[in-house]
Amino acid sequence: MATVDMRQIARTARTRRRGTATAALVAAAAVTASLMAGCTSGDRPDDGRGQTHSRSQEPDQRESEGHDPMSAGSALAVKIDNVRAARPQTGLEAADIVYAEQVEGGLSRLMAVYATQLPKAVGPVRSARESDLELLRQFQEPTLAFSGAQGKLLPLIDKAPLNAESPSSAASGAYYRGVGKVAPHNLYLRPQRLLDAVPGAAALTTGFRYGAAPEGGTPAKSRTVRFPSARFTFTWSADRHGWLVSMDGTPTLATDGKRLAAPTVVVQYVKVRESRFHDVLGNNSPYTQTVGSGRAQVLRDGRVFEVEWRRGTAADGTDFTTADGTPVNFAKGQVWVVFATA
């Protein structure tokens, strides 16, 4: 199988408009004193800035339009709720990459990145964190869909090289309140209302390589990664040729009831430190540092490969190599990256 390095695909110099979400959110916060900033633990309210929209109708039935899979538009990154009340999530199965990061209280939150296809709906959508800005620098002017953010973080989002799209700034009808869950776990996004077309694989400037598996590896039936108050388990399925995903001991399902299975899972050991921000209860918002280097495990084809990762600057993708520097290929298909504490 031929190896593909997405960074070798020329990026289009197309510049998309920058969202003005943060200015709108600051104004909304000033007149909505009852809204809470940055909560994530359990079923507590989120920052609330996405709750100013009333419930709308369910998403329309438009499918993603045909598009050149290698064209380079702007990747879409969506912050997705991951507490029990938010499950099953909508649209995760269509993501090219799913990042799992630690948030306040030791819980987890997901960031789903879409480039090769856009689902009809994604969610529940929740708030952004400071470390998201560093992670997203690897993409060229990505669109970040999020419900809101801690007030002091908004100026940093405004300055970041991305298109920030919250319910306060997005086009009418881009966000809606679903009927199956209670707030704040019922905010959903219609991706087609934010992007004109499917971005294409060239938007995935992550440094990931896809191709034949490296030599060696250790056979494995499953792998569990634990956060202080959350855990992820990946169980190999030869029938699905992927790792069945479970979160907090429960199988992860799409809204159609089908189990999620990722061909590649990366357990990336990173520094998780305190940030400058806190939630309304005083819990510090962890900062997941994705620039640097360290060890990682790549799970593919029923085997675990011990590898090294390196990301020189925030604008770079991440290189995964064997001990002798040989690049490590991922299996074609969805990739889950779980940021574990080094």
- Residue 6, CB half-sphere, CA atoms under 13 Å: how many? 28
| Greatest alpha-carbon span in the chain | 59
Average pLDDT over residues 109-136: 97
**What does the DSSP 8-state code read for residue 330?**
B
pLDDT tens figures, 141-189: 999 999 999 889 999 999 999 999 999 888 789 999 999 899 999 999 9
Instruction: Please write the tens of the pLDDT for every residue from 294-328.
Output: 999 999 999 999 999 999 999 999 999 999 999 99
Q: Give CA 249 to chain center in angstroms.
A: 21
Token readout for 232 is 């992820």
Q: Which residue has the higher pLDDT, 26 or 62?
A: 26
Residue 35: the pLDDT is 32
The pLDDT, as a whole number, for residue 198 is 96
Q: What is the pLDDT of residues 103-120, one digit of tens each?
A: 999 999 999 999 999 999
Q: Give the model's pLDDT for residue 34.
A: 33
Pairing of strands 230-237, 187-189: unpaired
Distance, CA of 319 to CA of 186 (rounded, Å): 36
Question: Cα separation of 338 and 164, whole Å?
Answer: 24
Query: pLDDT tens-digit profile of 219-262?
Result: 999 999 999 999 999 999 999 999 999 999 999 999 899 999 99
CA atoms within 13 A on the CB side of 290: 27
Based on C-alpha coordinates, what's the Rg of the chain?
Answer: 19
192: phi then psi, degrees, rounded to nearest 5:
-65, -15
When pLDDT is cut at 50, 70 and 90, the band that residue 8 belongs to is very low
- Tell me the average pLDDT of the chain: 83
Beta pairing class for 264-278 and 261-262: unpaired
Position 72 scores a pLDDT of 59
CA 137 to chain CA centroid, Å, is 13
Determine if the pTM surpasses 0.75: yes
pLDDT tens digits along 266-286: 999 999 999 888 777 778 899
Please report, as a single letter, which amino acid is at residue 43: D
Rounded Cα distance between 140 and 247, Å, is 31
Region 199-203: what's the mean pLDDT? 95
DSSP β-ladder status, 319-321 and 335-341:
unpaired
What percent of the chain clears pLDDT 90, i.e. is strictly above it?
A: 71
Going by pLDDT thresholds of 50, 70 and 90, the confidence category of residue 71 is low
The pLDDT score that the predictor gives to residue 172 is 84
Structure tokens at 5: 């390095």
